[in-house]
Structure 1
Amino acid sequence: MTVIDPGDFQTRIEKSFASQGAMAMLGAELTRVERGSVEIEMPFDPKLTQQHGFLHAGVIAAGLDSACGYAAYTLIEPEASILTIEFKINLMSPGRGERFLFRGEITKPGSTIIVADGRAYALGDGPAKLIASMSGSMMVIRGREDLAE
C-alpha cells in the first residue's frame, strides 16, 4: 500500500471543523487530533435532548460521524476530502451526562475507502460511561474542487 503524506492535517482539520455549522450549533469542540484518531467534546444542553431528557440519538450520531470523518482526514493528502458513505450505530446506554466525548479511530486505512470506529462517552462525576459505538465507511474524494478544503 502506498503511504500518503497527509501534510499539516491538524491545521486543515481545525479549519474544516470551524466551518461546520452543525458542530457549532451543538456546542462541540475539537479536543484532540492525532494521526488516525480524533476526539470531539460537547456539553450537555437540554435543547439537544429527546422526550425523556437524554441526549438525542441524532446528536450522538452527528458527533460520532464527525469524529470518525476527521480521523480519516488525518490519513489523506491535503488536496483530498472525505465523505461518509455508510455507518451503523449501537446505542448502549442513555445519553445522560454533563459532557460528551466522541472518539473516532481508524480501523482500516485505504486509498479510496477508510473504515473507522467511534465510541461515545457520557462524562460526569464518575468514570466515563460508554453510551454508543459506531462503525463507518468514509470515501476519499479527489479531483473535486467544490469539496476541497
Structure 2
Amino acid sequence: MARKALDSQPFSRLVGARITSFGDGRAVLEVDIREELRQQNGFLHGGVLAYAADNSLTFAAGTTLGPAVLTAGFSVQYIRPATGLTLVARASVAHSGRRQAVVRCDLFTVGADGNETLCAVAQGTVLAAQPS
C-alpha cells in the first residue's frame, strides 16, 4: 500500500524515492544520490533532503492516523553537507492522537563503504485529512 502511494506521486518518481520500511509508527524512505539531485558545490540539494523528511514523516504518521494524512508543518536542521551514494530518511512517530501526530526524522547518507553519516534532522506535525 505504501509503495503504491509513493509511486502515485510524480515528484517521488522523478527523484527515484522508494519506501524500504513501513509500519508500527515508522517509515524509511531512500533516494539514490545522482548528479541531477546535487547543488552547485556537489552536495545533495537541501530541497531533496526536505522532500525526504516531509514524505517519510507523513508515511510514518499514516501508520497511526490512517492513509489520508497531510503535513501541517515541519522543520529541518541541516547538520552537514550530504554526500555519498544514498540518502536514507528514517521517521518515527513520537506521539499520535486521534487527529494529529508528531514525528521525528533522521536523515543519513550512506557512503561507498556502507557507513552512515547523519546530515540532517527534522520534526513535523501531520494531520489526519478531514473528509470534504
Range of TM-score over shorter length? over 0.9
Q: Offset at 1:18?
A: 1.3
Q: 1:48 to 1:77 in 2, by over 3 A?
A: closer
Of 2, 11, 17, 1:22 maps to: 11
Of the two, which has the highest radius of gyration?
1
Q: Which runs of 4+ in 1 moved over 2 A?
A: none
- Distance in 2 (CA, whole Å) between partners of 1:42 and 1:17 is 12
The 1:77/1:96 distance shift into structure 2, 3 A limit, reads closer
* 2:130 pairs with one of 142, 145, 148: 142
How many Å separate the matches in 2 of 1:53 and 1:77?
Answer: 38
Of Structure 1 and Structure 2, the greater strand share is in: 2
Q: Give the deviation of 1:47 after TM superposition.
A: 0.5
Contact 2:29 2:90 in 1 (8 A): yes
Find the residue that maps to 1:75 and give its secondary structure.
Answer: helix
Deviation string 1:43-88 (CA, Å, 9 cap, x unpaired) is: 111101111010001100000110010001111245xx11111111
Q: Secondary structure of 2:64's partner?
A: coil
Alignment size in residue pairs? 131
Q: Which runs of 5+ in 2 are unaligned?
A: none
CA distance in 1, matches of 2:41, 2:104: 27
TM-score, with normalisation over the residues of structure 2?
0.94
Give the secondary structure class of the aligned counterpart of 1:97.
coil
Give the TM-score normalised by the residue count of structure 1.
Answer: 0.84
Identity score, percent: 28
Please report the RMSD computed on the Cα atoms of aligned residues, expressed in angstroms.
1.2
Instruction: State the distance in 2 between where 1:88 and 1:49 align.
Output: 21
State yes or no: 1:99 paired with 2:86.
yes
Please state how far the C-alpha of 1:126 moved relative to its aligned partner. Answer: 4.8
Match of 1:110 in 2: 97
Partner of residue 116, structure 2: 128
Query: Structure 1, unaligned stretches of length 5 or more?
Result: 1-10, 145-149
SS at match of 2:65: coil
- What is aligned with 1:147? none
